[in-house]
Structure 1
Amino acid sequence: MDNYNETAFDFLKEISKGSTYNLLFPDPRAGIAVIWLYERIESGSFSDKTFTENDVHQALSFAAKVNGTTDRNSWEYNNRLIADLQEYFLYYDESRQVYKLKEYANEFCRRASNTLKASFDPTIIEKICLALRERLEDLIIRNNLRDWFDIHFRTFQPQLRQQIDFLDRQIDHSVIEMRQNLIAKSRDITLMLKQIDERFDLIRKQNNELRAGFSEMDQIRRKLESISIENEDDKLGDLIYSAISFFQEMKQTLSLVDSRLDRVQPKVKQLFSNLNKPLFNARIESFLIHLIDYSKLTTANKANKRPIDFPAGIPGLKVYQDRMNFCIFERKRDLFPVKATKRFIAEEDEEARATVFRLFSKKLKQQDDISIWVDKIMNDLVPASRLRFSNYFFLCMGKDETKDIALGIGLAHRCLKVFGQHPRYNLTVTDELVVGTGTNISLWEMIIEKK
């Protein structure tokens, strides 16, 4: 029955009915009024967390001033807003004739507050990831993995998204600030650009620190992948797939922040340099004019030379320097001629040449065989979408008496380069040790799958 209700619920259809959306997300005046009431509850102005109708009207009047609207017919208009807010935001106690915020209103205000005051702290994320991994290992032993998804993982997701959104907003705010200062033609535009460039450097550093916190999440992802191989519960499999997809999405989002910095920061540096050039040229011109106006020529006693006296604060320099006389000794190049030596001509060894050519041909054939096996893996990924590399590793080496371990190693190395860096594939090295049949050769299992 639960599954039926979950499947039957159509979120988009329900929120589109009538005025449901406007009741869930009220206009700015009503929303700010709710926040005004929430702030006074948090500060203790309302001791029992209840307030009167006059308090609600006072909150709506404050919101009207914030939005720059008039209070014409405000009482009637406010009564309509209060009636709408009672659907999801306000609870009315008829016996006491007081109002109280519903839980949706508290969550509405908390979420907005946490988003606006979010600060960057990768240490917290790393601690949360560590606790998540330890809790996951504990619940795997207890065979109660569902609790990890329903309780711990759901709590963690918004916190990580909040950290990445914080970095992205810092870029947006910096770009908006730069555009506004350029339009206003601020006199301190160069100083502003320097500060924004330093802010971008800080954002990039924070992004790298947050990426370092993903080491724990990589371990969580590998554990979930190993569980999914043996899992037969469809519901649990969907939860595992959703968690793994979330980790991949977060890594891609961090890469997007990097790419935004790569696009914006060089333009800021170039603009900063272009704006500095006229200032530098003007300062050089002013310095030269100052030299010309306040420098003096003085008469010297020797050779009618007239040295320059620069203005106060500018050190003098020696323009005329006495030439130094050097003794030149001629060196005869043919004084000790070098004896000519006979040119050495190496004789070609046909047997050594054939050996080198044979080894080179074998190496070339091995590279061709590796390419054929890589193409086979790619072709098999079209219908399968997920493959175990060990099957191809032991198959490519041939029978027991003719095993070619170099071919298997070469194939593994090529797959790491091709599938590990390919945008359409994922390659994961697991902690499962696979031993070939009838041999003592073993390797860590690698899973290749399409994104």
Structure 2
Amino acid sequence: MTDDFDFLGTLQRDNLRTYKLLYPDPQLGMVVMWLYDRHLSGAFPAKTFKEDTINQAFRELFGHNRQQWQDYANKISDLNEFFLRYDEQLQVYSFKNYAIEFCQRAYDVLLNTFNPTEIEQICAKLRRDLEGAHTVEGYEFWFATNLPAFQPRMKGQIDFLERQIQESVDELRKHAYRSDASIQQALEQVVQRLDEIREQNKELTAAFHEIDRIKIHLDELQANNQWPSLQEPIDNAFVFFAEMLRDLRIVDRRIDRIQPKLRQLFGTLNQPLFNGRVERFLRHLLVESEFVRDSSGRRQLQLPENIHPLLIHISTPSLPIIERKEFPTKRFSIAQKSQQNQSDRRNAFATSAERIRRQSVVERWVGRFEQLVQQQGEAQFDSFFQAILIEENNDVDLAVRVAYRVFRQFTNNPHYSLSVDNQTLVEYKTQPSLSSWQMIVQKRQTDTLS
């Protein structure tokens, strides 16, 4: 990235002219896509086409007459900036590289299909290539070439699931305010689709199991790293894999948020049906029931034939009485108390196990930070704090515990010096409401020399 390049300023220049050239209006954009589709089908063997072909695109897509083509002549010339190249001698057009990348990216996104087996194979290949790299050149090639080559495909699978969810939500919104019976069937299809997406998310999570093995190898590489040029790529790889797992959890949580609303909507839809059935039942009782006299002359309510009479009195059965001394049993209250104690013990054990697990995670993060200080001579904790938030799914409590442990471990430590700059306030992108002073830990010079 070039620091002196004003990206936004360039896009906004001349009343957004550059932006409009990069992203043409929908009709011109569709014309470019039409030409690209013909290009993929092999309609342009020389990879060139004439202006008549562009006019044909307008005619097939929008049915424009010649006068309207004239109106678009000026706009077509705008495509020469980034999309088309015009050969004045031969009077033909060809695609510029930006047009190819622009259309191909849209093509890949829309074509993307769910394939967890392919993701598993990709991750396995990445892991084998990483394990086969034993030199700094080999590792640099893996970080610069192997990993970036597969990142779009891995992200594309998660994007595919999110797009499927959005399509289900759009389908739900389309039917939400309809009153006909077809909405029930449409909603059932949406629920079924969301269940399928959740299963696909589980399959994709399982396919990413190779990531754990890659992270273990990266941990070992980071712990024994002798090449400073690899430190930043290793950190970036950790962040990428953490983001992948985080995005998978986001997909699952989004389904969790949608499904209760679907159940509520089903309840709302079924309530009028239930009320109608209750009303018809009561009307049937009022119309078809009558009072009759029995053999003794008393009036009794006779329900309709298809409704069984109410059983008001049940004869009391004759049960034998067993003395406690003949059949001793434990008191129910004691058994109940025992069950309660067992439940309390299970809850206490689960709480204790969770506390131990979190403490282990804190210890692991503190150990990683100490390794970072050992390798680099110094480390800035706020960037490490951000990495904790990303990988631990924004668990602020855990990140703060790590910060507290780091502060205690490195304060007044004869091997390290810890400095806090209370003039520099650091903010975190994933937690906008959270900020901290800049904290730097350095390895003391005596330890470095030894």
TM range (shorter): 0.5 to 0.7
Q: Contact 2:33–2:103 at 8 Å: present in 1 too?
A: yes
Change (3 A) 1:238 1:10: farther
1:241 has 2:235 as partner = yes
1:36 has 2:12 as partner = no
Change (3 A) 1:284 1:9: same
Kindly state the Cα deviation for residue 333 of structure 1 after the two structures are TM-superposed: 5.0
1:196 has 2:190 as partner = yes
Which residue is equivalent to 2:112? 118
How many Å separate the matches in 2 of 1:337 and 1:84?
99
Which residue is equivalent to 1:27? 25
What secondary structure sits across from 1:162 in the alignment? helix
Please give the per-residue CA displacement for 1:17-52, whole angstroms capped at 9, x wherever unaligned: 553322222221211100011111222333433211
Which residue is equivalent to 1:48? 46
Cα RMSD after superposing both structures: 4.5
Change (3 A) 1:226 1:289: same
Match of 2:264 among 270, 275, 289: 270
Kindly state the Cα deviation for residue 388 of structure 1 after the two structures are TM-superposed: 5.7
Change (3 A) 1:156 1:230: same
Letter in 2 for 1:34: V
Which residue is equivalent to 1:133? 127
Kindly state the Cα deviation for residue 241 of structure 1 after the two structures are TM-superposed: 1.6
Which residue is equivalent to 1:422? 398
Q: Contact 2:285–2:303 at 8 Å: present in 1 too?
A: no
1:387 has 2:370 as partner = yes
Which residue is equivalent to 1:176? 170
Kindly state the Cα deviation for residue 247 of structure 1 after the two structures are TM-superposed: 0.7
Kindly state the Cα deviation for residue 8 of structure 1 after the two structures are TM-superposed: 5.2
Kindly state the Cα deviation for residue 128 of structure 1 after the two structures are TM-superposed: 1.0
Q: Contact 1:197–1:269 at 8 Å: present in 2 too?
A: no
Please give the per-residue CA displacement for 1:39-95, whole angstroms capped at 9, x wherever unaligned: 112223334332110111222344545xxxx76953443222222112221122334
1:255 has 2:253 as partner = no
Please give the per-residue CA displacement for 1:364-390, whole angstroms capped at 9, x wherever unaligned: xxx9xx99xx79x88x96xx981369x
Kindly state the Cα deviation for residue 291 of structure 1 after the two structures are TM-superposed: 8.0
Kindly state the Cα deviation for residue 144 of structure 1 after the two structures are TM-superposed: 1.6
Letter in 2 for 1:183: Y
How many Å separate the matches in 1 of 2:323 and 2:178?
73
Change (3 A) 1:319 1:252: closer
Which residue is equivalent to 1:77? 71
What secondary structure sits across from 1:208 in the alignment? helix
Q: Contact 1:30–1:63 at 8 Å: present in 2 too?
A: no
Please give the per-residue CA displacement for 1:332-362, whole angstroms capped at 9, x wherever unaligned: 8599899xxxxxxxxxxxxxxxxxxxxxxxx
Q: Contact 2:11–2:19 at 8 Å: present in 1 too?
A: yes
Please give the per-residue CA displacement for 1:389-436, whole angstroms capped at 9, x wherever unaligned: 9x9xxxxxxxxxxxxxxxxxxxxxxxxxxx99935578xxxxxxxxxx
Aligned length: 350
How many Å separate the matches in 2 of 1:145 and 1:271?
54
Q: Contact 2:161–2:197 at 8 Å: present in 1 too?
A: yes
How many Å separate the matches in 1 of 2:227 and 2:97?
35
Change (3 A) 1:264 1:423: farther
Q: Contact 1:297–1:309 at 8 Å: present in 2 too?
A: no
What secondary structure sits across from 1:44 in the alignment? coil
Q: Flag the structure with larger Rg.
A: 1
Which residue is equivalent to 2:209? 215
Where structure 1 has 5 or more consecutive residues not aligned to the other structure, the ranges are 339-366, 392-418, 427-449
Counting aligned pairs with the same residue, the percent is: 36
Letter in 2 for 1:37: L
What secondary structure sits across from 1:48 in the alignment? coil
What secondary structure sits across from 2:94 in the alignment? strand
How many Å separate the matches in 2 of 1:209 and 1:334?
59
1:107 has 2:90 as partner = no
Please give the per-residue CA displacement for 1:218-254, whole angstroms capped at 9, x wherever unaligned: 2112222322333354443222221211111111112
The structure, 1 or 2, with the larger RCO (C-alpha pairs under 8 Å, 6+ apart) is 2
Kindly state the Cα deviation for residue 282 of structure 1 after the two structures are TM-superposed: 2.0
How many Å separate the matches in 2 of 1:259 and 1:38?
38
Q: Contact 1:33–1:59 at 8 Å: present in 2 too?
A: yes
Q: Contact 2:290–2:301 at 8 Å: present in 1 too?
A: no
Which residue is equivalent to 1:185? 179
Which piece of structure 1 moves more, 9-18 or 171-180?
9-18
How many Å separate the matches in 2 of 1:212 and 1:33?
42
Letter in 2 for 1:87: E
Change (3 A) 1:317 1:52: same
Which piece of structure 1 moves more, 242-251 or 252-261?
252-261
What secondary structure sits across from 2:201 in the alignment? helix
Letter in 1 for 2:169: V
How many Å separate the matches in 2 of 1:88 and 1:257?
36
1:91 has 2:67 as partner = no
Change (3 A) 1:229 1:293: same
Q: Trace 1:341-420 onto structure 2 (pairs within 5 A).
A: 386-387=369-370
Letter in 1 for 2:156: Q
How many Å separate the matches in 2 of 1:387 and 1:230?
13
How many Å separate the matches in 2 of 1:46 and 1:83?
21
Change (3 A) 1:332 1:94: closer
How many Å separate the matches in 1 of 2:227 and 2:20?
40
What secondary structure sits across from 1:386 in the alignment? helix
Change (3 A) 1:131 1:319: same
Kindly state the Cα deviation for residue 142 of structure 1 after the two structures are TM-superposed: 8.5
Which residue is equivalent to 1:280? 274
Letter in 2 for 1:23: L
How many Å separate the matches in 2 of 1:146 and 1:306?
91
Which residue is equivalent to 1:434? none
